[in-house]
């Protein structure tokens, strides 16, 4: 165990936006033992407050692998951005399939939403600018993550309906358990690709990587890591992709696994 890679929401972060004290202690024990820790999340840099609250100063792989961020210096280290042409073409395809769909886009500097994307009263909470069509608001900005939201459909149905239709333009996944919200990025970019590059930079072999996740956007990462742990409380597809299972989120599953592995290392 030389590198621990953990998803955030549903894996170590709850609905209250907090990380349990037990989980924090487990990560601190890893760092004290000389084990690298990286967080790999669908969140953009501006939504990393749970990590800032802990005083974490390391690297975070954001937006499902599209951006690598130094949290200590608040600096983008690397990014893979979608261009407007691909986004608008994907928009047209998705809108033909689901006419009521609404869109948003995450750039390095801002969150752009179209009218109807956000729930009433939540625009300010999302930190979004005034709702406008993306064709007006993008202005040539590169996009970290392109988002599509529907209402009367399950997240899995939405993903299976859209993914194959736009795969030549964007890579599509979802991470919200109950909200039909799709997350799209540059084809070929996902959590596992960027994590593999990061591990290689550190000189850490794939077999020495421990990864934790719970949703479809974690599937590739869990399959790539030498020891991929899906949370017992996670999505069925994540559980199928992982070669190992961690206890449920509510049981501090990540902390339990790390505690056991650290104890085994000390014994060895």
Residue pair 20/225 in contact (Cβ under 8 Å)? The answer is: no
The residue count for the chain: 268
Checking if the pLDDT of 91 tops 90, the result is yes
Long-range Cβ contacts of 12-20 (<8 Å, 24+ apart): 12/212, 12/249, 12/254, 13/50, 14/249, 17/49, 17/50, 18/50, 18/53, 19/50, 19/54, 20/252, 20/255
The structure tokens 């669908």 sit at: 42
Q: Quote the percentage of the chain above a pLDDT of 90.
A: 87
Residue pair 133/114 in contact (Cβ under 8 Å)? The answer is: yes
Checking if the pLDDT of 43 tops 80, the result is yes
Overall average pLDDT of the 161-173 stretch: 97
CA-to-CA dists, residue 261 to 27, 40, 201, 257, angstroms: 12, 20, 24, 6
Among 15-24, 110-119, 152-161, 166-175, which stretch is predicted with the lowest mean pLDDT? 110-119
Overall average pLDDT of the 213-238 stretch: 97
CA proximity to 31, closest of 267, 253, 258:
258
| Amino acid 142: pLDDT | 85
Residue pair 58/37 in contact (Cβ under 8 Å)? The answer is: yes
Angle (CA) 147 234 239, round 5°: 105
| Amino acid 214: pLDDT | 98
Checking if the pLDDT of 203 tops 80, the result is yes
217-243 residues labelled b (16+ CB within 10 A) or e (exposed): bbbbbbebbbbbbbbebbbebbbebbe
pTM for the model: 0.94
**pLDDT digit string (tens) for 106-118?**
998 889 999 999 8
Residue pair 212/194 in contact (Cβ under 8 Å)? The answer is: no
Alpha helices in 188-249 (DSSP H): 191-202, 219-224, 236-241
């Amino acid at each position: 165990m030389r590198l621990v890679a953990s998803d955030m929401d549903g894996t170590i972060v709850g609905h209250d936006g907090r990380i349990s004290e037990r989980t924090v202690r487990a990560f601190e024990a890893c760092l004290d033992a000389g084990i690298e820790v990286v967080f790999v999340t669908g969140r953009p840099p501006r939504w990393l407050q749970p990590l800032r609250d802990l005083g974490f100063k390391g690297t975070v792989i954001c937006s499902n692998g599209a951006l690598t961020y130094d949290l200590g210096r608040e600096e983008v280290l690397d990014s893979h951005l979608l261009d407007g042409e691909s986004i608008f073409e994907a928009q047209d395809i998705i809108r033909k399939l689901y006419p009521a769909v609404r869109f948003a886009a995450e750039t390095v500097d801002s969150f752009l939403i179209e009218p109807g994307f956000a729930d009433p009263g939540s625009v300010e909470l999302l930190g979004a600018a005034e709702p406008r069509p993306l064709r007006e608001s993008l202005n040539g900005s590169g996009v970290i993550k392109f988002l599509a939201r529907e209402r009367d459909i399950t997240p899995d149905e939405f993903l299976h309906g859209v993914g194959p239709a736009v795969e030549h333009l964007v890579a599509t996944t979802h991470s919200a358990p109950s909200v039909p919200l799709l997350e799209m990025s540059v084809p070929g970019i996902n959590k596992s690709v960027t994590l593999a590059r990061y591990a290689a930079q550190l000189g850490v072999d794939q077999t020495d990587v421990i990864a934790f996740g719970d949703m479809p956007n974690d599937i590739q990462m869990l399959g790539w890591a030498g020891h991929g742990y899906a949370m017992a409380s996670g999505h069925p597809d994540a559980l199928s992709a992982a070669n190992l299972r961690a206890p449920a989120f509510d049981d501090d599953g990540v902390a339990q696994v790390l505690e056991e592995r650290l104890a085994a290392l000390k014994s060895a």
